[in-house]
């Protein structure tokens, strides 16, 4: 089963969106396992849109959905991959990221008897 990791970045300025997107999209090539193999199966993204009524809060949102073959690859991405760790540091110091929200789900699994403690 595929594990999907959804990441929503809240940015201080819409002008920073292209820089964040370029860096995040490059992780599909720069994030590799210790054996040298890439492990992110897929990545898709777009600018987040508010669907509720009102004028919005003026905060730029960018959403990415990453696909992983298994929970071990996802855990490695979140906790250990040096390229991803450098990206997270850049988000904090250069890319105007004010907040990040993540959600992980397993493809077509709606109930589970076990805990998915990967976040």
For residue 68, the enclosing domain spans 3-106
On whether residue 50 sits in a domain, the answer given is yes
Does residue 114 lie within any of the structural domains?
Answer: no
Structure tokens at 46: 């777009």
**Assigned domain for 74 exists:** yes
- Report the DSSP beta bridge partners of residue 101: 8
pLDDT: is 10 or 114 the higher one? 10
* Mean pLDDT rounded to a whole number for the chain: 87
Residue 67 · residue 2 · CB < 8 Å: yes
111 found inside a domain: no
Q: Give the pLDDT confidence score for residue 111 in this predicted structure.
A: 58
CATH of the domain at 7: 3.30.70.100
pLDDT tens-digit map of 93-111: 999 999 999 999 998 776 5
Mean pLDDT, residues 8-27: 94
Residue 30 belongs to a domain? yes
Is there a domain that residue 34 lies in? yes
Give the model's confidence band at 119: pLDDT under 50 very low, under 70 low, under 90 confident, else very high.
very low
Task: Report, as an integer, the average pLDDT of 64-90.
Answer: 96
Domain count, the chain: 1
Residue 55 confidence (pLDDT) above 70: no
The answer to whether residue 19 is domain-embedded is yes
Task: Tell me which of 26-35, 72-81, 83-92, 109-118 is least confident.
Answer: 109-118
CB atoms within 10 A of CB 109: 10
What confidence score (pLDDT) does residue 49 get? 74
Cβ-Cβ contacts under 8 Å for 40 (sequence gap 6 or more): 27, 28, 31, 66, 67, 68, 73, 77
The answer as to whether 118 is a domain residue is no
Q: Rounded to the nearest 5 degrees, what angle is found at the Cα of 33, between the Cα atoms of 89 and 74? A: 70
């Amino acid at each position: 089963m595929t594990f999907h990791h959804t990441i929503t970045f809240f940015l201080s300025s819409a002008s920073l969106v292209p820089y964040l997107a370029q860096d995040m999209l490059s992780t599909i090539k720069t994030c590799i396992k210790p054996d040298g193999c890439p492990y992110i199966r897929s990545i898709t993204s777009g600018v987040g849109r508010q669907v509720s009524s009102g004028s919005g809060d003026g905060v730029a949102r960018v959403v990415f959905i990453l696909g992983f073959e298994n929970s071990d690859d996802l855990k490695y991405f979140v906790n250990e991959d040096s390229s991803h760790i450098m990206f997270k540091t850049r988000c904090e110091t250069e890319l105007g990221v004010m907040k990040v929200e993540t959600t992980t789900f397993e493809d077509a699994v709606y109930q589970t008897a076990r805990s998915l403690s990967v976040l």
